[in-house]
Amino acid sequence: MAGQRILFWPCNKQGAPMASHYKNIVILTGAGISAESGISTFRDSNGLWENHDVMEVASPQGFSANPSLVYRFYNERKKQLQSIEVKPNLAHEALVELQSKLPGNVTIVTQNVDDLHERSGSRDVIHMHGELLKSRCLKTEQIFKTLGDIDELSICECCQTPGNLRPHIVWFGEIPMFMNQIESLLHEADLFLSIGTSGQVYPASMFVQIAKLGNECKTVEVNVEETAVSWNFDEKVQGPAGETVPVIVENILKGHF
C-alpha cells in the first residue's frame, strides 16, 4: 500500500494557507495507536492476546468457565497500564492538539480499554468497548473506578455482596456501548479518521461505511499495513501512528488535508 503524499495545498487569495474547513471530525482508534506506548495489540501474535486465546479471557463463556483466570488477566492488564513504562505517545498528544485547536468538533471513539487518550488530555472520548480501570456490578449495572485488583470475593459499593463485580469491558458476543451516539456522530462527520485498527471486529469495522452515508465525508485510514477494510477508505496513510498522526494533525490545522 503506498503512503499518501499531499502535493497541492489550498491557499487563500493572499497566498496564506487556509484554515481547516472541517466541522465534525470523528476519529476511531484501535490497539495500534497504543502499540508505541508499550501495550500489545490483539491480533499481532497469532491471534493471542498476551499469550491467551481471546475467547478464554474476553467472552462471557470464558468468564463463566474460569472466572479466576479472567479476573487475573484483567488485573495484570491494569497493572501494566498503570506501570511507569506505559504512557501516551505522540499520536495521542497530536489528537489533544487537534481537539484544542480546531474550531470544530473532534470526537474520539476508541475500541481501546486503556486510558491513554484521557491521560494525554483528550476530552470527548467514547469508550465503545469499556474501560480497564472500571468495574461494573452484575446486578445493578453501576460502574466504579477501580484502579486495584478485583476477584470473585470483591464487594461492590452498591449491593455490598461479594461476586457481583466484573471488569467493565465489552466482551465478544456483547453489545458495544454508545452505539446510537456514535452512529449520529458518523452521520454528521465531514472527516473520519481510523487509526491503528485491523477492521476485523464488527461494528467498528462498519463505521467507515456509515460515515460515507453522510455529507461528503472524507475517510482516511492510518495503519502500518493494509487491513481488511482498507479498500473502503478514500485515502490511506501508511506508517506508525506516532509518526503519521502528528503530521496529519498539523496538515488538518493548516487546511492542507
Q: Which residues bind ligand APR (CB under 6 A)?
A: 30-32, 35-36, 41-44, 54, 111, 129, 196-198, 200-201, 223-225, 227, 240-241
Catalytic residue among 129, 168, 187, 256: 129
Minimum CB separation of residue 35 from ligand APR in Å reads 4
Q: Quote the CA–CA distance of 52 and 160 in Å, as a whole number.
A: 32
Minimum CB separation of residue 180 from ligand APR in Å reads 19
Q: Which residue is nearest to ligand APR (CB)?
A: 32
Minimum CB separation of residue 179 from ligand APR in Å reads 14
Nearest to 245 by CA among 26, 107, 23, 92: 92
Q: Is 54 helix (H, G, I), strand (E, B) or coil?
A: helix
241 or 253: CB nearest ligand APR: 241
97 or 131: CB nearest ligand APR: 131
Element (DSSP H or E) covering residue 48: strand 48-49
60 or 104: CB nearest ligand APR: 60
Q: Quote the CA–CA distance of 211 and 214 in Å, as a whole number.
A: 6
Residue with cell 501474535: 45
127 is catalytic: no
Q: Which residues pair with 107 in a beta bridge?
A: 26
> Can you read off the three cell numbers belonging to residue 189?
462527520
Catalytic residues: 129
